[in-house]
Structure 1
Amino acid sequence: MEKKKRIVVLGAGESGAGAAVLAQVKGFDVFVSDTSSIKDKYKEQLDRYGIAWEEGHHTPELILNADEVIKSPGIPLTAPMIVELRKRNIPVISEIEFAGRYTHARMICITGSNGKTTTTLLTYHILKSAGLKVGLAGNVGKSLALQVATCDYDYYVIELSSFQLDNMYDFKANIAVLLNITPDHLDRYDYKMENYVDAKFRIVRNQTEDDAFIYWNDDPVINEKLSKLTLKSQRYPFAETHEPGTQAYTDHGELTIDTPEETLTMKTDELSLLGRHNLYNSMAAGLSACLLNVKKEAIRKALSDFESVEHRLERVASVRGVQFINDSKATNVNSCWYALESMKTPVVLILGGKDKGNDYTEIEQLVRDKVKALVFLGVDNSKLHAFFEGKVPYITEARSMKEAVDKSYALASPGDTVLLSPCCASFDLFKSYEDRGDQFKACVRAL
């Protein structure tokens, strides 16, 4: 009897546990290893499918005998076990790559430094509202691999980070969406912007002339890269104003989406999402839906009734005339730029966390123009102090979310906005950006 091919999964979160289930269903010899502790719900899932697992460490002899390894996006390529696997020429792939082998569903894949979660959820909302059999996967929703193993969808809308794109090789996006590229996660890319750009552009890998590439036409980084690339896929650029070749644009308060099969128009003030960045997100989602031949009426309705994403410019409460906004998902400088750009009142800004090689010059002018006080919320705020000292009237520090909210409230006047838009990752003081945002909301509601 032929020996079963051995698949080892490193990391047992949503992605890894889902990949393990799919591998088991497809008849592989499966083993899961995680250097951290595995959440109970994933242990139960693995046990239910009879999958062997370990937590708290890696056992080399149970991993280095793999025929192929599926790694969690959070594990860097420099991790010792990954280095050892590559030395031995054992293929290391992503969960998305693995799942793509076992489905013929059409893939709508979305990446970008900012806006990808909103655009993914909005695209999913349009397709689901239109009655399509569609799954939501990647950084949001359930693991793609788990859905491929247990569901029967015709379409998947997938949010892809650069980390997930890193280990994709044969996977193909039928519709690839690239919203923007600004410096982020440079600590994972040898502090070289070109490495990060290359990772993002893996989203168009393997596309043919039957596939579509949707992108922001005014992004200089995207345009520079496109000038050096030969793409087979059809291009669908979008922009705020009508420029030659753009397929989605606005003019005199009207949004136009123009594809070979369809032209859709609607008033921009009918869009449920506010702000310039959300206009781009709506264009990208609308273009994807038009290319999938969703009826215009269904697209218009979904673009106008979509509810915003939690932790992204989320209005929390107004306390004695002070508006509190949770933008905890702003883990890079460009996200904070979008948040500040949409502010119409004086701002008390809460910044700080784990710095990922940030350059704060991008927000300097907006901070000077709109921010009356800065509250630094991080373990080490020295870089923030060095950059912002003398640029705003008042700067203070906080060591907990309660202290940050209390100080911000004290610094704000009626009519001001307290904005949590940290620019940084959350892992120095919080479990995740969700935990940071949830604590912010709880502290605001307790005022």
Structure 2
Amino acid sequence: MNLAGKTVTVLGAGRSGRAAVALALRGGARVRVFDAAPRIEGMPDGVEIHPSAGEASARDGQCDLLVVSPGIDTYGPLVAAFSACAGEMIGEVEFACRHFEGKIIAITGTNGKTTTTELVERILKAGGIDGVACGNYGVPVCEVVMRDPAPEVLALEASSFQLETVVDFKPDVAVWLNFAPDHMDRYPSVEKYKAAKLRIFENQRATETAVVRKGEDLPDLEAKVVSFSTDDESADWFSDGRYLMHRGQSLIDLEQGSHLRGKHNAENAMAAIAACKVLGVDDETIHKALDGYAPPRHRCELVRTLDGVEWLNDSKATNLHALESALRSQTRPVVLIAGGKDKGLDYRPVLPLLAEKARAAVTFGQISGSLAELFSHAVPVEPVGTLDEAIDAARRHCVRGGTVLFSPGTSSFDQFDGYEQRGDTFCRIVQKLR
């Protein structure tokens, strides 16, 4: 992508925005950066800085190319104002990938993206392939493509926010894990949210591959489709939650070496393996990569066992689908702790599963009251205000041989800075129990 002599406006001065600024400068562009914050720090010399930016600031942002950071609402008036003054508007992922010549494995889905992305990177490295996890995983793609040398493969976790702004983005392998309503505080409808995610397939043709969960409601895809499932044995990859089978042949026993447990993790593993096999990774490498692997923190993480009760931290469950997956994977009587910010989600579909798996529930946070009223149709519920109170209440309801499952089912921003802080707080409190 030739940027010499072009003017590039970067909207958002966070880590993704700073990476986009660095890449634009490397290409010889004149760069401006706008952010709503009253101060913008850490920018290289020569960059025009515009703090306290609003819609009126767009008149100073006329440019050949507008690069929008993924945290900024693409549907909002700020982006609309700046887009009207730009020759083209794209996001950080699109901008980075226009500067990358290697292979791309892109992973999307409502849940499981991070575990799958991490597994892809691990399998590639075990096979001697320089693959780097990036994107929504935590490292901006612009940072990665500027490495010298650049990696051979991007293991790119792609959120709906990042996919909204793709144009030419065409992954060699696109992974679709699952779909359920989420981010209804950002999207005007479920259909808009799904349409953003579906853009991962938009430019794929018969020469590319789509790895998809069988049974998902997807349009006809031009790419070659490889399917996986824990429900349908006719899929290319199938698992009962322990054994991973490829077209009827058992390949992996997850309980021999790995710390992956439950059907949701089996799906993540199958998706990652299927994607890496497209790039030529062999079975021996896959065995080596999975040996000793533990999924990322805050995903049904065993914190401790106390008085015969397992305490699980699933703080990464920020939506209904993640909560359902965590409940479905439990085999012991559950006391569920759920709650947090009101994201406008409909929790009624979880009631049958809650009645089947849980003996009680404790709700907390902004949606404590409304969630308790709904959950009371399935199990006894105790609503409280804070996470400390929720842990105390859960301990009163749990029984020896059971599980306290902290799976909030919504985001954390009513009381915490993110799911990591929320999960760390849960772990700290639980470790102090006596």
TM-score, normalising length from structure 1?
A: 0.89
**Higher mean Cα deviation, 25-34 or 102-111?**
25-34
Q: Compared with structure 1, are the counterparts of its residues 37 and 427 closer, same or farther at alpha carbon in structure 2 (3 Å cutoff)? A: farther
Residue aligned with 1:423, SS: coil
Give the alignment partner of residue 159 of structure 1, picking from 152, 157, 160: 157
Whole-Å separation in 2 of the counterparts to 1:19 and 1:325:
38
For each residue in 1:121-143, what CA deviation from the matched residue of structure 2 results, as whole angstroms up to 9, or x when unmatched? Answer: 11111111222111111111411
**Greater CA deviation, 162-171 or 365-374?**
365-374
- Overall identity of the aligned pairs, in %: 36
After TM superposition, list the pairs within 5 Å mapping 1:1-80 onto structure 2: 4-36=5-37, 43-44=41-42, 46-47=43-44, 51-58=47-54, 60=57, 63-80=60-77
How far is the alpha carbon of 1:16 from its aligned partner? 1.4
Q: In the alignment, is the contact (CA less than 8 A) between 1:215 and 1:236 conserved in 2?
A: yes
Q: Which moved more, 1:152-161 or 1:301-310?
A: 301-310
Deviation for aligned residue 1:114: 1.1
Which deviates the most, 193-202 or 206-215? 193-202
* Counterparts of 2:417 and 2:11, CA distance in 1: 21
8 Å CA contact 1:125, 1:302 repeated in 2: yes
**Structure 2, unpaired ranges of 5+:** none
Query: Whole-Å Cα distance in 2 between the matches of residues 68 and 119 of structure 1?
Result: 32
Question: Residue in 2 aligned with 1:182?
Answer: 180
* Aligned match for 1:350, one of 326, 337, 343: 337
Aligned to 2:378: 391
Q: Which 4+ stretches in 1 moved above 4 angstroms?
A: 241-244, 251-254
Letter in 1 for 2:302: R
Question: Aligned pair 1:256/2:245, yes or no?
Answer: yes
1:238 lines up with 2:228 in the alignment: yes
Match of 1:278 in 2: 265
Deviation at 1:433, TM superposition (A): 1.0
* Equivalent residue for 1:211, pick from 177, 190, 208: 208
What is the root-mean-square deviation in Å for CA atoms of aligned residues? 2.4
Q: CA deviation at 1:173?
A: 0.5
CA distance in 2, matches of 1:352, 1:183: 17
Higher helix content, 1 or 2: 1
Tell me which of 111, 114, 132 is aligned to 1:117.
114
Deviations 1:304-332, CA, capped at 9 Å, x for gaps: 32211111111111223222111111011
State whether residues 334 and 362 of structure 1, in contact with CA within 8 Å, keep that contact through their aligned partners in structure 2: no
Using a 3 Å threshold, how does the CA distance of structure 1 residues 103 and 377 change in structure 2: closer, same or farther? same
Structure 1 unmatched ranges of 5 or more: none
Letter in 2 for 1:301: K
Residue 253 of structure 2 is aligned with which of 248, 264, 267?
A: 267
**CA separation in 1, counterparts of 2:372 and 2:19?**
43
> Offset at 1:205?
1.6
TM-score under structure 2 normalisation? 0.91
Q: How many residues align?
A: 428
* Partner-residue secondary structure (3-state), 1:181: coil
| Distance change in 2, residues 1:63/1:412 (3 Å) | farther
Hey, what's the Cα distance between the residues in 2 that align with 1:38 and 1:125? 39
Deviation track 1:334-379 (CA, whole Å, cap 9, x = no partner) reads: 1000101111222221111122221212211121122233222212
CA distance in 2, matches of 1:367, 1:380: 17
1:53 partner letter: I
Greater alpha carbon shift after TM alignment, 268-277 vs 135-144: 268-277
Q: Deviations over 1:13-52 (max 9, x none)?
A: 222111111111111111222223679xxx43x34x6544
SS of the residue corresponding to residue 281 of structure 1 reads: helix
Q: Give the corresponding residue for 1:326.
A: 313
One-letter code aligned to 1:343: Q
